[in-house]
Amino acid sequence: MSATREIISSGNELAAIAAVDAGCRFFGGYPITPSSEVMHVISDLLPKVGGAAIQMEDEIGGVAAAIGAGMSGVRTLTATSGPGISLKAENLGLAQMAEVPLVVINVMRGGPSTGLPTRVAQGDVAQAKNPSHGDYKSITLCAGNLAECYTETVRAFNLADRFMQPVFVLLDETIGHMHAKAVIPTAEEVKKNIVPRKTFDGPAEEYKPYGVPQDEPAVLNPMFTGYRYHFTGLHHGEDGFPTEEIETCRKLIDRLFRKVDEHKDEIESNEEYMLDDAEILLIGYGSASLAIKEAVDVLRSEGIKVGMFRPITLWPSPEARLHELGQKFDKVLSVELNQGQYLEEIQRSMGRLDIEKLTKTNGRPFSPADIIEKVKEVF
């Protein structure tokens, strides 16, 4: 059994602690509600382990600094909320194209624009799929409880180094500011399971960072270690130098897809609750799933057989499992703190449009009563 510990903390604080335990040694960011505690906590922790945290002049500078740290071989983090992701978008696209590992924590709030800075929402789910322009595959994890604010952040760092790209961890204001006891792995347990990025150790003249199989990420040796390559946001060949050669460009973008799509088994994570004998399926994620789970318990006490499916990995979506569930359940309800951003993915995966939805966009969380009332209304 894995070694665990109990800690009383908030979700934002747990994410910061997780980053340091997972080997993060650089943070670049800028304060923004409701994510600021991530920066506050990690700025205290990193100097104690030989790392550094820097508050840049804005969100753009924050992610640029974090990408620079990633190029040097350091595990690196930035944290923000929806408006900050909008500002970071161009540099996030650079990290996708150049294949620089980076973890991005987004503590979601209401939007668009300034929205509801101090209130909860799940309005950045669609943004997390494609935060920047162009063709690539996002990896996005979504914590649904305090413990997962820790464990999913740890997992994000391993995935970032495995797939050599930004990995997003979605929290939301409710989860980020919730303060309670969480049971999490010990720091020693986390260190035992760190998955480092691959490096090349042959002759420098043979080093081709992007000359890899079509289903694998680039192999980027840390800068300043004797291996030279070109770093660019342009389409590039195996040595990193820009090119417009048709087949090279096609293979590059194809690989950015395939390195994720062909390894979904390493990325996908879901929770299924009381589904074995269920007749009604509820689908939700993040803090909304806490209310869903309690609603399931209450409804079952009344003889209504309800179960929950919760995607922890939102992107790439668990489309195969969603399709299976769509064949099994006639009655399906999607519950989201937005206007239905993940509903479209559920509909696509299930191949049907008759999915009921319960949404809320006024900055307040769901109560179990909200969900119970909706289930009885539509089913």
Tens digits of residue pLDDT in 67-122: 999 999 999 999 999 999 999 999 999 999 999 999 999 999 999 999 999 999 99
pLDDT at residue number 195: 87
**pLDDT score at 302:** 97
Q: What is the rounded CA–CA span in Å between residue 100 and residue 219?
A: 10
Would you give the distance in Å from CA 250 to the centre of its chain? 27
Give phi and psi for 233, each to the nearest 5. Answer: -95, 0
User: What's the pLDDT score for residue 77?
Assistant: 98
C-alpha to C-alpha distances, 257 to 130, 252, 316, 317, nearest whole angstrom: 13, 9, 10, 14
Sign of the C-alpha dihedral computed for residues 117, 288, 127 and 190 taken in this order = positive
Q: What one-character DSSP code corresponds to residue 263?
A: T
Beta carbons within 8 Å of 322's beta carbon, 6+ residues apart: 309, 345, 346, 349, 350
pLDDT at 299: 98
The amino acid present at 179, given as its one-letter code, is: H
The domain spans of the chain are 4-192, 271-378
State the pLDDT at residue 313.
98
pLDDT, mean over the chain: 97
User: Which of these, 36, 87, 34, lies nearest to 64 by C-alpha position?
Assistant: 87
Distance CA 379, CA 374 (A): 8
What is the value of pTM for the model shown? 0.97
Residue 304 φ/ψ, nearest 5 degrees: -100, 115
pLDDT of residue 40: 98
4-192 and 271-378 in the same fold: yes
Which segments of the chain have a pLDDT < 50? none
Q: Can you name the CATH fold of 4-192?
A: Rossmann fold (3.40.50)
Instruction: Return the CATH number of 271-378, one of 3.40.50.1980, 3.40.50.920, 3.40.50.20, 3.10.20.30.
Output: 3.40.50.920
The reported pLDDT for the residue numbered 229 is 86
